[in-house]
Chains A and B, each alone.
Chain A
Amino acid sequence: NAGVIQTPRHKVTGKGQEATLWCEPISGHSAVFWYRQTIVQGLEFLTYFRNQAPIDDSGMPKERFSAQMPNQSHSTLKIQSTQPQDSAVYLCASSLDPGGNYAEQFFGPGTRLTVL
């Protein structure tokens, strides 16, 4: 079991460019979560999917952030017109049975996004 896979591990973009981050959950897990980590804000929730359906995107900045889960094996987080304040480590997690007895979340290594 390879764990949660995130690509790329590092991404540098110029201000105003688009960034797409990829996540492959653990095989068989039904929920995928996105979080981001900054020094100032710590670890904060962005959005999540259960069985590929979007459930809660309350943590997503509304204007430029979007997330999709087109199939059970991957999810993407897209940031349009990136700004320096978007610089962070973006973490993806998956869980086998959210809300049930196997709701433990397992995290990928993260994508470090730097916006110049």
Chain B
Amino acid sequence: GDQVEQSPSALSLHEGTGSALRCNFTTTMRAVQWFQQNSRGSLINLFYLASGTKENGRLKSTFNSKESYSTLHIRDAQLEDSGTYFCAAEANYGNEKITFGAGTKLTIKP
């Protein structure tokens, strides 16, 4: 089946620093979404990309369909950025379901 490989599985950052999360896809994907799951369990939409790069505040995401990957960059991390981040992708064959990565548990330390 379609595979979404997400890394790292866990990441610890100090406030004010930054890093990148990555998802690799084993099949051609039409679009990718990134979510933050907060402490209450809600999935918060961060980005939806069919191609290219989008930026929102301290977050930036890129989707390269040809090379089958997507990244989420976080800069100037804040305590409220803690949570689990998921990528999810829609395969390019007409079925609109999305397949999730295993998630990255991000911890921001003061």
Contacts and interface: CB of A to CB of B under 8 A. Distances in A.
Interface of A: 31, 33, 35, 42-45, 48, 50, 55-56, 59, 89, 91, 95, 98-99, 101, 103-107, 109-110, 112
B77 to A, nearest CB: 24
Given A89-B41, A103-B31, A107-B43, A45 B98 contact: yes
B96 interface: yes
Residue from A35, A44, A103, A109 with most neighbouring chain B CB atoms (10 Å): A103
Given A33-B97, A42-B102, 10 more contacts: A31-B96, A33-B96, A33-B98, A43-B88, A48-B96, A56-B95, A104-B45, A107-B35, A107-B45, A109-B41
Interface string B4-36: 000000000000000000000000000101010
Contact of B96 (A59, A91, A99, A107): A99
A109 B42 contact: yes
Given A43-B100, A91-B43, A107-B42, A99 B94 contact: yes
A91 B86 CA distance: 14
A98 B48 CA distance: 13
Residue from A35, A95, A105 with most neighbouring chain B CB atoms (10 Å): A105
B21 to A, nearest CB: 15
B66 to A, nearest CB: 20
Interface residues of B, number: 22
Contacts of B48: 103-104
A103 B41 contact: no
Nearest to B1: A58
Given A42-B102, A91-B43, A104-B33, A56 B86 contact: no
Contacts of B50: 101
B31 A48 contact: no
A109 B35 CA distance: 13
A44 B100 contact: yes
A23 to B, nearest CB: 14
